[in-house]
């Protein structure tokens, strides 16, 4: 018996595909070939010749359909190659890729559950189990509609940032105005403690967010070093610290050389934070330092004057429009940021991870030990044009936070759907972890669009404008692997704080000055090829096992390496030597890897990546030449250089941080 064809049929209607095979599809049968029906498909056989037959069958997994063809016997079936190609073309024509959009709904005579139940029955059903499920499902729907508007109309983003070159006569009440209270409050508290007048504006009730946060001890240490938290306070914020995190990708359909061992990463995202308490503590520290928080106020627009920036917000309770003036606006609105869309248009984000999940309780400990986490896990191949990946993190008590996401190309025809993902989540969670959804306690939904940008240089994306600076997901400078805007912000918080403090003290608030504060790192940019290799281009179909094979190639090498190698690579500390060594090993292990990446990324992106690798190599050389003496020289030159040429000082200070990236030789 030999497998000769494996296809993913992008539809959850497996029974419909089986009926199509049995009744609608007409095979180019040769003389004497019979088509016999089987429970899961068909059998093609030649009467009197038991040495050669083809079995075609389908099955369901991950709310999609898979099809395989096996040859029975050693002798080839008559016209086998032509027959297989004919079947493949017929399947692709009958079941093309489909990218559904959420329906337009009217809630005047029905609630959100009733409106969405015909389209997303499992989602409507289980959201009713959450304590505030109606509000949360409304927000999922709102978030998807808003994301789609930006993706489908990239040339006409809302003009919420307006320019008035003359000075404003109104008083400047604040130094910093932060829009967005999740990531925003962390940095706002740091800057308020430095003595700056800070205002934080949040659309939701302050302290509410759609995600949970995980981190490692050495990364959270950045917040301790900045004086925002003490070590004792950090211990109080820990909901759970697990023993080990697992990384494993489905490899049942991979050849033996591309199967991989479980990669253990015990120090990656191994601490689950109590996110609500973290935000509450940051809010308390912000207010104690004199800062203000405006909650349930929605950003409408900002007017940039030569001497300040005026922000207009809508009070969601009274409907009143409020204004505030500041020296600088910090955009922490994440993927929904209209400022990011306006500044970059279609180049705002080049990839995204639609992410859904929930905080649950009641999973059988015989199925999952709460001392362990899943950092990255797949339990099947490509599903309806997406490689679905799970994360599972232990939380407080017996709570678990479970995420389902996929890496996705931002495309106007296919923006990516949270509601489709939630329907998948509630349907296939029992496949991933044996459980009865009815017996689980549903504590809180977690969802969002986590953006990415394939940066080819430090200047190819605007994260700053005059008196405007983006951070977190709005800046979209995070890792393409496992870290989101939270991880990026924490890792770069020292850099962001020192450079922004310098810019404010020296009144360097023009776009070209603020652009020096960006957190671009060539060692992170060079890894975007990994996320590019984890997404199916819109309109294309790939061999179902392709992405898992690529992931197993790289993660298998990490599993066979010393633990510190995986820790360095996944935590975005990759050096030129380490990256180059792993890339060469991967090419030797899987010679077709570069061809696969070229097919998925395209010639243009592959050439762009080669330019990034050249820049990575150049910076590694500069680090070798300068990092041994330049930081010390710059510190010695500060007394005279900063006062005489503050703009040059800011640029050199920014360059120093790039030099202090991981050593190129390690």
- Give tens-digit pLDDT for 220-246: 998 999 999 999 999 999 999 999 999
| Token duo for residue 353 | 């991870």
Distance CA 489, CA 572 (A): 13
pLDDT score of 51: 66
- Give the 3-state secondary structure of residue 161: strand
Residues 6+ apart with CB under 8 A from 43: 35, 36, 37, 53, 54, 55, 56
Q: With 0-12 CB in 10 A as exposed, 13-18 as middle and 19+ as buried, what is 72?
A: middle
- Residue closest to 129 by CA, chosen among 437, 397, 421: 437
**CB-CB contact of 452 with 484 (8 Å):** no
**Residue 393: what are its φ and ψ, rounded to 5°?**
-130, 130
Q: Which H or E run includes 72?
A: strand 64-72
Distance CA 447, CA 209 (A): 9
pLDDT score of 666: 43
- For residue 428, how far is the Cα from the chain centroid? 20
- Residue closest to 144 by CA, chosen among 105, 102, 98, 106: 102
Instruction: Please give the average pLDDT of every successive group of 10 residues along the chain, which has 666 residues.
Output: 93 96 80 84 79 89 96 80 89 92 92 97 98 95 89 77 91 94 90 97 85 87 92 94 95 93 93 92 96 95 95 94 96 81 70 92 87 94 96 92 92 92 97 94 92 66 85 59 64 90 96 83 74 85 94 93 88 86 92 88 84 89 93 94 95 89 55
Q: What share of the chain is helix, strand, coil (3-state, %, to 5)?
A: 40, 25, 35
pLDDT score of 483: 43
- Residue closest to 270 by CA, chosen among 355, 358, 390, 373: 373
- Give tens-digit pLDDT for 252-279: 999 999 999 999 999 988 999 998 899 9
- Residue closest to 10 by CA, chosen among 449, 414, 405, 411: 414
- In angstroms, the first-to-last Cα distance of the chain is 49
Distance CA 586, CA 605 (A): 20
Ordered domains of the chain (ranges, CATH) = 2-94 (3.30.310), 112-150+350-452 (no CATH)
pLDDT score of 151: 83
């Amino acid at each position: 018996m030999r497998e000769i064809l494996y296809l993913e049929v992008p539809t959850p209607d497996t029974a419909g595909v089986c009926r199509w095979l049995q009744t609608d599809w007409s095979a180019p049968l040769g003389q004497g070939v019979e088509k016999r029906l089987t429970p899961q498909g068909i059998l093609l056989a030649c009467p009197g010749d038991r040495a050669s037959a083809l079995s075609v069958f389908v099955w369901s997994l991950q709310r999609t359909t898979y099809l395989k063809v096996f040859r029975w016997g050693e002798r080839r079936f008559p016209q086998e190659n032509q027959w297989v190609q004919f079947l493949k073309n017929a399947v692709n024509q009958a079941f093309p890729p489909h990218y559904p959009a959420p329906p337009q709904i009217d809630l005047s005579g029905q609630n959100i559950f009733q409106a969405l139940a015909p389209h997303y029955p499992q989602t409507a059903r289980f959201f009713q189990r959450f304590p505030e499920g109606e509000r949360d499902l409304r927000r999922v729907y709102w978030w998807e509609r808003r994301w789609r508007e930006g993706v489908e109309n990239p040339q006409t983003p809302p003009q919420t940032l307006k320019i008035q070159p003359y000075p404003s006569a109104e008083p400047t009440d604040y130094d910093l105005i932060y829009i967005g209270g999740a990531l925003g409050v962390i940095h706002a508290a740091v800057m308020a403690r430095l003595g700056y007048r800070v205002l934080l504006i949040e659309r939701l009730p302050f302290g509410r967010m759609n995600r949970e946060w995980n981190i490692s001890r050495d990364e959270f240490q950045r917040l301790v070093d900045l004086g925002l938290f003490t070590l004792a306070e950090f211990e109080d914020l820990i909901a759970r610290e697990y023993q080990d995190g697992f990384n494993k990708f489905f490899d049942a359909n991979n050849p033996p050389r591309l199967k991989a061992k479980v990669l253990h990463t015990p120090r990656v995202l191994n601490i689950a934070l109590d996110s609500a308490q973290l935000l509450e503590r940051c809010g308390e520290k912000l207010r104690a330092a004199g800062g203000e928080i405006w909650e349930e106020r929605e950003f409408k627009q900002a007017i940039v004057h030569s001497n300040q920036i005026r922000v207009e917000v809508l009070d969601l309770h009274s409907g009143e429009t409020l204004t505030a003036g500041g020296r600088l606006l910090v955009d922490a609105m994440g993927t929904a940021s209209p400022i990011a869309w306006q500044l970059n248009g279609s180049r705002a984000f080049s990839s995204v991870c639609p992410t859904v999940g929930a905080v649950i309780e009641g999973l059988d400990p015989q199925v999952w030990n709460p001392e362990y986490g899943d950092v990255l896990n797949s339990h099947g191949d490509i599903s309806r044009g997406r490689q679905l990946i799970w994360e599972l993190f232990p939380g407080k008590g017996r709570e678990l936070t479970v995420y389902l996401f996929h890496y996705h190309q931002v495309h106007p025809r296919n923006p990516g759907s949270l509601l489709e993902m939630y329907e998948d989540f509630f349907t296939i969670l029992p496949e991933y972890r044996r459980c009865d959804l009815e017996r689980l306690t549903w504590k809180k939904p977690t969802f969002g669009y986590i953006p990415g940008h394939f940066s080819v240089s430090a200047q190819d994306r605007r994260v700053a404008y005059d008196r405007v600076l983006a951070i977190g997901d709005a800046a979209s400078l995070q890792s393409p692997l496992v870290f989101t805007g939270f991880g990026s912000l924490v890792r770069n918080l020292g850099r962001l704080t020192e450079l922004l403090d310098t810019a404010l003290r020296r009144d360097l608030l023009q776009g070209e000055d603020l652009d020096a504060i960006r957190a671009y790192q060539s060692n992170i940019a060079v890894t975007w090829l990994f996320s590019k290799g984890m997404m199916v281009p819109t309109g294309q179909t790939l061999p179902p096992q392709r992405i898992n094979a690529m992931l197993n190639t790289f993660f298998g090498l990490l599993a066979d390496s010393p633990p510190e190698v995986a820790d360095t690579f996944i935590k975005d500390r990759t050096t030129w030597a380490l990256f180059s060594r792993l890339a060469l090993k991967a090419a030797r292990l899987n010679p077709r890897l570069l061809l696969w990446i070229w097919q998925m990324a395209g010639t243009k992106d592959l050439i762009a990546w080669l330019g990034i690798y050249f820049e990575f190599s150049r910076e590694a050389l500069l680090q070798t030449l300068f990092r041994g003496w330049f930081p010390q020289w710059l510190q010695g030159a500060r007394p005279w250089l900063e006062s005489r040429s503050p703009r040059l000082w800011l640029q050199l200070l920014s360059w120093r941080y790039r030099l202090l990236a991981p050593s190129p030789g390690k």
